Structure 1
């Protein structure tokens, strides 16, 4: 499998709305996901496929084990208590949004993840989480490629919580690069390939995403 990691400038030099809203967050990672045949209007389709295909149980056993260990440590040391998260230790990024980005879906839980929605546009989506270690933004973007198709980009934007948060991010970096991101790449690229089957049969355990304000095709204003 090719390396999907990209230099930070692949995120920082693009005209994403997140730049004006979260200038105090650092770029931790930028990653690309192949979506062959994708066109400019397929971003909502990709997001729906990701949400239907989500869930820790669909990851390889080693990834599920790592997440189980992380949640167990969080429970023991109180890393994920409500007072350590959004509206507790930090304010949600939603409080910074200009009027044109405030959407009904903001604050909704993202299925199968600890994230909540911030905003969604036809080519850009931001979700967030916060705990005792970090305030983390997952930025998803839809980017044209030299071939004329489009591909999914993911940028992890972080604000570490003091020295402990910085040590934590450094400690887990090898795990992210060697285990988590490769598994995520396989799952997300497979979600695009299997999108027709996934979206034809949504199940109660894999609900469709809440639609932001906008036209019936899911685009937001």
Structure 2
């Protein structure tokens, strides 16, 4: 079951991401269809960044994804000049000393660039002409030795364009894109726990198949 959670569910946890992005806005919090043991957050990260989305999504979602890709190329939104290190300073510069070097380096084609990884959380960032955004994955105890994944999206829009863009895509993200993404995560998570994640390939940060913000 796909479930969007209230913002308070993210704020209530003492995640380290709070101290890294106090100036970012929390867009969404989602409960992930991924339940496992205490040590399985790395498997969730691998599942998320090396998953089958959008190839396994409904046609409407694949059309929206392709439309966004084409629009970004046409308008130059995703050009290197607007990316991390050029148009936006990486949040790695803000990381406290104990978080630096805890996440693997991103692969060449990575969409989200890893920031840090701990036993119960992982964060990655992306930047383009419209927004600087963070995807945060939490591993939340449910009792009985069970943990469940949770995803939060935090953003800092780039000026009026970014604010207008985020408002325009919000209905599509909430009602089409993210529900399809999370259904794909459920399938990929089940395959990962059976060992199927090795067929997709990639370590955390290698290939991010998630909707652009």
Q: Give the TM-score range, shorter chain.
A: 0.7 to 0.9
DSSP 3-state at the match of 2:4? coil
TM-score by length of 2: 0.87
Q: CA deviation at 1:58?
A: 3.0
Q: CA deviation at 1:208?
A: 2.8
Q: Classify 1:91/1:106 alpha carbon distance in 2 versus 1 (closer, same or farther; 3 Å).
A: farther
2:122 to 119, 125, 128: 125
Pick 1 or 2: higher relative contact order, CA cutoff 8 A, min separation 6. 2
Question: What is the aligned partner in structure 1 of residue 75 from structure 2?
Answer: 77
1:140 to 137, 161, 182: 137
Matched length: 205
Structure 1 gaps, min length 5: 212-221
1:152 aligns with 2:149: yes
Task: Could you list the structure 1 runs, at least 4 aligned residues long, displaced by more than 6 angstroms after superposition.
Answer: none
Q: Classify 1:192/1:13 alpha carbon distance in 2 versus 1 (closer, same or farther; 3 Å).
A: same
TM-score by length of 1: 0.84
DSSP 3-state at the match of 1:89? coil
Q: Distance in 2 between matches of 1:51 and 1:26?
A: 23
Alignment of 1:1-221 (within 5 A): 1=1, 3-36=2-35, 38-103=36-101, 105=103, 107-109=105-107, 113-145=110-142, 149-195=146-192, 196-199=194-197, 201-203=198-200, 206-209=201-204
Structure 2 gaps, min length 5: 207-213
Q: Classify 1:18/1:104 alpha carbon distance in 2 versus 1 (closer, same or farther; 3 Å).
A: closer
User: Aligned-residue CA RMSD in angstroms?
Assistant: 2.1
The structure richer in strand per residue is 2
Q: Distance in 1 between matches of 2:103 and 2:47?
A: 18
